[in-house]
Structure 1
Amino acid sequence: MHYNISGQGPAVILIHGLFGDLDNLKALGKELEQNFTVVRVDVLNHGLSPKVATMDYISLAQSVVQLMDKLGFPDASLIGHSMGGKIAMATALLYPSKVNKLVVADIAPVTYPSRHDKVFSALESMPLTELKDRRQALTHMKAHDIDDGTAQFLLKSLTRTEHGFGWKMNLAGLKQSYPDIIAWPTFDKTYTGPCLFVRGGDSDYVVADYRQCIVEQFPNVKAKTIEGTGHWLHAQKASIFNRIVKDFITTH
């Protein structure tokens, strides 16, 4: 995996969500690097990381552990948002001795319904070779009923090429793997280390119905809600989110 490393101290790995890249949790990384060695990763099929055919959570967890081994980390704390939270959870369940602490931002260990059809349609229909500038790309996204905030986020993966524009992410690979990305395997394991779930108060990604699934797999869990935020809680109230995460991995 492609990664950025900064700071010094115990290792912390930050894992972004679907369609993102290692800059998504950059502000959190800045907050932590005074006390920790911070590694921000591009998940496979995102950013500058390799393109792969399979993106199930078992193989994605393996990619995290392979990076830890490459960097010489016997263990690390994992912090993941959305899909990145699922990757962090899978790593903790499969390799518990490798994970000191776990922070999961606005996602649960459950299978979700498909909710990105509109996004895939907008991205796949983008006239990449005909685009003149990013403003034109934003107009295209809005014409496909993508709200401004989501469109701006998605367009961070748009990059200039010799033939106009292209996607940094492997869009075809993500669509092919999407059933695995929204799924959650049966691990039949528990992670008993310190664990924090942080949810957005206005988000529907972590609801009361999922409580039992969370507690069964992560019995030593604590939970926080950041009111007035949705699924993008780490961006909408960054200072609060960053403080909660830093306090947890520093003191627990």
Structure 2
Amino acid sequence: MLLNVIERGPETPDAPHLPPIILLHGLFGRARNLGFVQRRLAATHRTFAMDLRNHGASPHGPMSYEAMADDVRETLAHYTSEPAIVLGHSMGGKTAMMLALRHPEQVRALIVADIAPAEGGFTRMDVPPDLANLHFPAELDRKGAETLLRPLIPNEAVRQMMVQNMTLGENPGWAIGLPDIMHSLPAIMDWPTLPAGTVYNGPTLFLKGELSPYIQPHNFAGMRALFPHYTLETIGSAGHWVHADAPLRFAQLVEDFVSKHSALNAAH
């Protein structure tokens, strides 16, 4: 499946040739959610922020981390044959990990934002299971959409995120593949059992929000088994949405890691 992509890159024709960077959003997000860090990285790198399947403007279909990783691989191959540095947040982080584990030759280095390779995550999304059956009026503006969702989604941040997934105006509705997402939610919250010996030996950075519960000490052994060369950085005073809660610190850690592993002679 070819995914919808926001591509940004250096504006100067004599920019040094550096590895491409892929950016993958979390559940109910979209490519532009990582726009702040993408714009910074695009000053030196060709970057591809992707809408994962059922999200943004990408096609819809059943979801699994294997399928989503294959989507990313196929989409990257549409633009370049080079291995990429892959950054993923939350569900996008699990997708990035799966890509690195299944196709390590395609991943030069890996950044995983606030999720572990384990069951868990997204428990605080607080999205009702029957949301896909929401009855829409004949016409809807943004204020009306918030009013429509408020009784169902009390969390304002989650409600705002879901409003961005609506088509507003006349004949409003869900712009995303919400039935597929809700049907696949158990698989999205889980982490698949991998064949014995599966490992990604490339450089890996986990970024944890200090206030987030999604990377805990009991996850470290599993992280080390799959990603033996990982390092972990904790971003102070940040929750699960680390890139939004502490954008400058998040961008600094990402840029430092990218710079370290962008040299053409860097170890894969």
Instruction: Specify the code of the residue in structure 2 equivalent to 1:62.
Output: D
Q: 1:11 aligns with which of 10, 14, 20?
A: 20
Residue 127 and residue 88 in structure 1: after superposition, are their counterparts in 2 closer, same or farther (change >3 A)?
A: same
Does residue 20 of structure 1 match 2:22?
Answer: no
Residue 237 and residue 73 in structure 1: after superposition, are their counterparts in 2 closer, same or farther (change >3 A)?
A: same
The 5 A counterparts of 1:93-112 are 93-112=101-120
Larger fraction in helix: 1
1:92 is displaced (CA, Å) by 0.2
TM-score (norm 2): 0.88
**Other-structure match for 1:179:** 186
Q: Give ranges in structure 1 of 5+ residues lacking alignment.
A: none
SS at 1:169 equivalent: coil
Cα separation, 2, equivalents of 1:118 and 1:124: 14
Instruction: Specify the code of the residue in structure 2 equivalent to 1:104.
Output: V
- List 4+ stretches of structure 1 deviating above 4 A: none
**Other-structure match for 1:48:** 57
1:160 is displaced (CA, Å) by 2.0
The 5 A counterparts of 1:179-198 are 179-187=186-194, 188=196, 189-198=198-207
Q: Residue 75 of structure 1 contacts residue 99 of structure 1 at CA under 8 Å; is this kept in 2? A: yes
**Other-structure match for 2:98:** 90
Q: Residue 19 of structure 2 contacts residue 82 of structure 2 at CA under 8 Å; is this kept in 1? A: no
Instruction: Specify the code of the residue in structure 1 equivalent to 2:182.
Output: K
1:29 is displaced (CA, Å) by 0.3
Q: Give ranges in structure 2 of 5+ residues lacking alignment.
A: 11-17, 262-268
Residue 241 and residue 115 in structure 1: after superposition, are their counterparts in 2 closer, same or farther (change >3 A)?
A: same
1:170 is displaced (CA, Å) by 0.5
Cα separation, 2, equivalents of 1:160 and 1:113: 29
Q: Residue 120 of structure 1 contacts residue 175 of structure 1 at CA under 8 Å; is this kept in 2? A: no
SS at 2:168 equivalent: strand
SS at 1:73 equivalent: coil
1:67 is displaced (CA, Å) by 1.0
Number of residue pairs matched by the alignment = 250
Q: Deviations over 1:48-86 (max 9, x none)?
A: 10111x211111111111112111232101000000000
SS at 1:229 equivalent: coil
Cα separation, 1, equivalents of 2:19 and 2:236: 30
1:129 is displaced (CA, Å) by 2.5
1:161 is displaced (CA, Å) by 5.2
**Other-structure match for 2:81:** 73
Cα separation, 2, equivalents of 1:122 and 1:177: 14
1:141 is displaced (CA, Å) by 3.0
Cα separation, 2, equivalents of 1:77 and 1:132: 40
SS at 2:140 equivalent: coil
Cα separation, 1, equivalents of 2:121 and 2:20: 34
**Other-structure match for 1:153:** 161
Cα separation, 2, equivalents of 1:89 and 1:219: 13
Residue 19 and residue 240 in structure 1: after superposition, are their counterparts in 2 closer, same or farther (change >3 A)?
A: same
SS at 2:108 equivalent: strand
Instruction: Specify the code of the residue in structure 2 equivalent to 1:2.
Output: N
**Other-structure match for 1:139:** 147
**Other-structure match for 2:13:** none
Q: Deviations over 1:96-154 (max 9, x none)?
A: 01100100000000012772673134733643225532223223333235321221122
SS at 1:40 equivalent: strand
1:169 is displaced (CA, Å) by 1.1
Does residue 167 of structure 1 match 2:169?
Answer: no
Cα separation, 2, equivalents of 1:98 and 1:29: 20
Residue 51 and residue 36 in structure 1: after superposition, are their counterparts in 2 closer, same or farther (change >3 A)?
A: same
Residue 7 and residue 137 in structure 1: after superposition, are their counterparts in 2 closer, same or farther (change >3 A)?
A: same
Task: Please report the RMSD computed on the Cα atoms of aligned residues, expressed in angstroms.
Answer: 1.8
Cα separation, 1, equivalents of 2:86 and 2:103: 12
Instruction: Specify the code of the residue in structure 2 equivalent to 1:43.
Output: L
Does residue 115 of structure 1 match 2:123?
Answer: yes
**Other-structure match for 1:231:** 240
TM-score (norm 1): 0.93
